[in-house]
Amino acid sequence: MYLEKILSPDDVKKLSRDELKLLAGEMREALIGKLSMHGGHCGPNLGFVEAAIALHYVFDSPADKIIYDVSHQSYSHKMLTGRNEAFLNPLKYDDVSGYTDPKESEHDFFNIGHTSTSISLASGLAKARDLKHERYNVIAVIGDGSLSGGEALEGLDFAASELNSNFIVIVNDNDMSIAENHGGLYTNLKKLRETRGNSECNLFKALGYEYRFVADGNDLNQVIETLKEVRNCAHPVVVHMVTQKGRGYAPAEKDREAWHWHEPFDIASGELKSRGNRESYDGILTDYLMKKAGSDEKVAVITAATPMVMGMDRAKREKLGNQFIDVGIAEEHAMAMSSGLAAGGAKPIFGVYSTFLQRTYDQIAQDVCINSNAVTVLVYLASVNGMNDVTHIGYYDIPMIANIPNLVYLAPTCREELVSMCDWAVEQNRYPVFIRVPVGGVESANRSISTDYSELNRYEVLSHGDTVAILGLGNFLKLGRETAALISSELNIEATLINPRYITGTDDELLENLKKEHRIVVTLEDGVLDGGFGEKIARFYGRSDIKVLNYGLKKEILDRYNADEVMRKNRLVPSLILEDVKKILG
Amino acid sequence: MYLEKILSPDDVKKLSRDELKLLAGEMREALIGKLSMHGGHCGPNLGFVEAAIALHYVFDSPADKIIYDVSHQSYSHKMLTGRNEAFLNPLKYDDVSGYTDPKESEHDFFNIGHTSTSISLASGLAKARDLKHERYNVIAVIGDGSLSGGEALEGLDFAASELNSNFIVIVNDNDMSIAENHGGLYTNLKKLRETRGNSECNLFKALGYEYRFVADGNDLNQVIETLKEVRNCAHPVVVHMVTQKGRGYAPAEKDREAWHWHEPFDIASGELKSRGNRESYDGILTDYLMKKAGSDEKVAVITAATPMVMGMDRAKREKLGNQFIDVGIAEEHAMAMSSGLAAGGAKPIFGVYSTFLQRTYDQIAQDVCINSNAVTVLVYLASVNGMNDVTHIGYYDIPMIANIPNLVYLAPTCREELVSMCDWAVEQNRYPVFIRVPVGGVESANRSISTDYSELNRYEVLSHGDTVAILGLGNFLKLGRETAALISSELNIEATLINPRYITGTDDELLENLKKEHRIVVTLEDGVLDGGFGEKIARFYGRSDIKVLNYGLKKEILDRYNADEVMRKNRLVPSLILEDVKKILG
């Protein structure tokens, strides 16, 4: 086996072309083996095996620097840079993350997980190299899907004319984003593929790049020869390389969208190893969206290249027709266009992962909120129980958006409230309304739920008690209920339990009233404490005798954490909260 | 006079071509008259007179909808849509803002002040129109400078292939951003100008647009004829129109950068009416940057199309040579590239207005902070005393960035501290450091200032007192000092005065110690209260007996406000703070 013996890129360079091809086969087998047990990004990695080999064969990493966009296609790169065991030995699978990470290897230059960043990051390296009078190759690898992101387009535009030195952009064109591509630039990529790179109408040439076309990016020799030609170039070059997403694993070649990222699967059949069938908040929203759009043709359901976040599979997208808008990887555009849709009298609903919402801060503040346009935004996986890669943490949303004027951010706590809040948001036309989609097991209301949220910042009191009041925001209402139960059994105090519902403001009247029969107010939020919900409550009571205990997550960089451990460390556990309450009650 | 009689676009349509030309002359005269007394965007408006007339001559606003990018070129549009008095009568100059505003007129569809948003907003209108089965023209007007922004590029890419219905993009090409353009797309615009639109290598055609070229966008007839051709088109069209920035006013034609935006001036000479010559924090930074870059070739000074924010006029830019990087309007790229520069061993310093920093939230969090790259960012006009147009408010920075992990946000309070903090930030390599450039009259230290800020979150005690402690952050240290003096004279209490220096964390040891001899902690911040600095202090003391009074700005939409009034309304006045303190002391 060749792969076992690859301890660094130097070992790649020693192999013959035929041996490299055998190596590619072994790598693909290792990929499929790990992915079948571990899950991960299938399509992007299977398609980039040969290119990763060619890059390490032609260039001298880490002196030459290869920057992977999203870096979800970097598994092969990892195998060739001293991390092969993490793909060969199941016990070591978790030794590496699914993205590049400088702490793992000197061959990784950035922690990258969001799309469309590689060209800008790489152009910084290239410029630093030039300022320091050093000489090496800088190579940015970017997929066609990521090209439509604003950061990538800004970088592509800049590097074309402003660097004037070695800079190589590899456009890994597999004719797919996560789902199918959307946007005009893809008509140009198609034209370039059809003309084998010969069309005069060429986006990259228009920007000023030298342009090379590789018709089969899964043909090692083609890739190697082209990379040799551009190595040590003294100006910006685009290598447009056509690869096959999912290459070498039939189910992934066939359904490229489903196999972009995949749970563990049975290799022979391609079937999921375990299929969850529990009711989920996401599924409730999918049903709501289909029904709503079906009954009102002014409803537009919007995604930025992640239709499955809202459960919008191909059949549902087709059913929604022109009421479903996938803008491609272009979150800024999605948010601003939503504002335009609302201004034009439509009812836009934009569903987005919390971590990718970060791309749209300015569009939220300027395009949406200053204009008070009634956009509905569904914010997914904003929770300590969301994605846990350092680049995909979703619980920084509250400080980011809840302090923007005019924005209403709602935190539903159960099935009925989620649907009621959504429907109110879509039907009203006064506020931009963001909804923090609950994470966790589906709860039911067991009480009547309001259908009108237009009187802002009215918290809901679930049980009236005394001495201790607990504000359990969104996902953590359940924790609040458990804490109240423990306080009741341990201290014989019936705590007041409150569902704040509104993240963006304080219910001053209610908070004022709490002063009469309470000594302690506890806030619980499934988000970072700094700049969050609880601090607003602490400020409100700053000049009073009420003691405020804020619970939430510490502001810190975490990567692939264990959520239960993080909860405990932050004392988000009924018994620890009880301890703190007891200390104050004396 | 024709202009006086233009009460709506209908009146434009009644004029003959010759009369329209006379109207253009009158409008230009009115523009120069108002700008000379009032200041404002000169170059963009002078260049767009004929196009604005042509748009209202050919299209039927407000049924047809014209969306102006940045909308700083919309003065002519305002003159033609019932707002001519605001340009003819000096007493009414302030009746309109410098940007489009739906509250002013049914011919304005959005409040717009940031660049690069028009295509996305307009495509939302177009899509809403289609969903509602309506028919009208949607026209996005965008300057060449704004095209390089990520949001614009995302929108341009999307609209090209995904709308399939009427959509007109007018590219107003005056061959300038605020300063000169930077980026590959400008080489293509140049080629298109040189070939009178005939080059096969055409960025817009590559994306899929039908393309029209107008060689002289200041020739009314040329513009009118082309717009007539594209009116009611059933697909996306780009009209590439060459106009002259500053057209018709010699000084503005000559120095297009200086006259992009201009203070009031003498019409005959073009000289400034009054020239401020006071020392400023901005000037201190300019000197620092020139000296620093001059002594260390690894220092890179970066701007996104606003070099003058750092005082980088043409002479200084030339002096810095390749150490000065203008990325054009591309804030995301500027931030990410800065991260790359730091990773490559250079010392990047990115200077940016607080309001435009909003474009880079995700790049700060992902590209910079997760990677702990030592980027220095100078944040300008983050203050109630900064720009006061609703689209340019700079005091929302603290909740936005100070709650991002790994980021160090410093608030200098005087000349010496500003320079010390900058120099520390540039020379260290552990943290991304943002510096909130002070706004207001320059203060001197009158004490020794630390040169090392690596021990994070250590507040500086300026005077030890008792009972009341005042934390005066950044610009508001002065207010803290005044408040302490008033408390001293009125209550005979010597308050403790603290310069927090660090916005991003609490000095727990110091705050703990304050408990001993203080009953009240006052926080003062020149920023919004929600998610800000003071709330962190309120949270810290939540479970103690200390009373916390947070002063700052209310979260609300303000437009062209009076800063003194806003300060008073938020009780940011020593006598009002004294009142509150007295209430608690009883």
Question: How far does A276 lie from chain B, in Å, by closest CA?
Answer: 32
Question: Nearest residue on chain A to B132, judged by CA atoms?
Answer: A298
Of A148, A203, A538, the CB nearest to B539: A538
Q: Please list every residue in chain A whose beta carbon sits closer than 8 Å to the beta carbon of residue B297.
A: 131-132
CB contact under 8 A, A162 and B327: yes
- A184 CB neighbours in chain B (<8 A) are 156-161, 206-209
- Which candidate from B202, B399, B534 shows the least CB-CB separation from A539? B534
B281-436, CATH topology level: Rossmann fold (3.40.50)
Q: Is B438 strand, coil or helix?
A: coil
Q: Which CATH architecture describes the domain B460-585?
A: 3-Layer(aba) Sandwich (3.40)
**Which pLDDT does position B468 carry in this prediction?**
98
Long-range own/partner contacts, residues A20-29 (CB < 8 A, 24 or more apart)? A20/A53, A20/A57, A20/A220, A21/A220, A23/A53, A24/A49, A24/A50, A24/A53, A24/A220, A26/A1, A26/A2, A27/A3, A27/A53, A27/A76, A27/A79, A27/A87, A28/A247, A28/A248, A28/A249
Residues of chain A with C-beta less than 8 angstroms from the C-beta of B154 = 148-150, 153, 327, 330, 332-333
- Asked if residues B84 and B38 have their Cβ atoms less than 8 Å apart, the reply is no
Give A-chain residues touching B456 at CB under 8 angstroms: none
Report CB contact under 8 Å: A333, B131.
no
Q: What's the distance, CA A126 to chain centroid?
A: 27
Shortest alpha-carbon distance between residue B268 and chain A (Å): 38
The span from the CA of B325 to the CA of B303, in Å, is 6
CA distance B564 to B576: 14
| Residue B447 tokens, joined | 């004490």
Closest to A547 (Cβ–Cβ): which among B337, B399, B542?
Answer: B542
- Closest by alpha carbon to A261, among A272, A276, A275? A272
Residues in Cβ contact with B523 at an 8 Å cutoff, skipping those fewer than 6 apart? B471, B473, B533, B534, B537, B538, B548, B549, B550, B551, B552
| pLDDT for res B254 | 92
Per DSSP (E only), the strands in B22-90 are 40-41, 65-68
Neighbours of A560 (CB within 10 A): 11
- Residue A338 to residue B124, Cβ atoms within 8 A: yes
- Pick B300's closest partner by Cβ from A131, A341, A405: A131
pTM passes above 0.80:
yes
Min CA distance, B438 vs chain A (Å)? 22
Extents of the domains making up chain B: 3-262, 281-436, 460-585
| Partner-chain contact A370 B111, CB within 8 Å | yes
Å between A290 CA and nearest CA of chain B? 16
Answer whether CATH 3.40.190.10 is correct for domain B3-262.
no
Taking CB atoms and an 8 Å limit, are A121 and B188 in contact across chains?
A: no
pLDDT tens for the 586 residues of chain A, in order: 999 999 999 999 999 999 999 999 999 999 999 999 999 999 999 999 999 999 999 999 999 999 999 999 999 999 999 999 999 999 999 999 999 999 999 999 999 999 999 999 999 999 999 999 999 999 999 999 999 999 999 999 999 999 989 999 999 999 988 888 899 999 999 999 999 999 999 999 999 999 999 999 999 999 999 999 999 999 999 999 999 999 999 999 999 999 999 999 999 999 988 766 678 999 999 999 999 999 999 999 999 999 999 999 999 999 999 999 999 999 999 999 999 999 999 999 999 999 999 999 999 999 999 999 999 999 999 999 999 999 999 999 999 999 999 999 999 999 999 999 999 999 999 999 999 999 999 999 999 999 999 999 999 999 999 999 999 999 999 999 999 999 999 999 999 999 999 999 999 999 999 999 999 999 999 999 999 999 999 999 999 999 999 999 999 999 999 999 999 999 999 999 999 999 999 8
Set of chain B residues whose Cβ sits within 8 Å of the Cβ of A369: 557
Spans of chain B, pLDDT less than 70: 275-277
Residues of B in contact with A117 (CB under 8 A): 336, 363, 366-367
* Chain A CB contacts of B348 below 8 Å: 124
Residue type, B86: A
Of residues A187, A399, A555, nearest to B161 (C-beta): A187
Q: How many CB pairs under 8 A join A and B?
A: 428
What ipTM was reported for this prediction?
0.97
Contact (CB, 8 A) for A397 and A365 = no
DSSP class of residue B265 equals B
d(CA B337, nearest CA chain A) in Å: 4
**Chain A residues in contact with B359 (beta carbon < 8 A):** 361-362
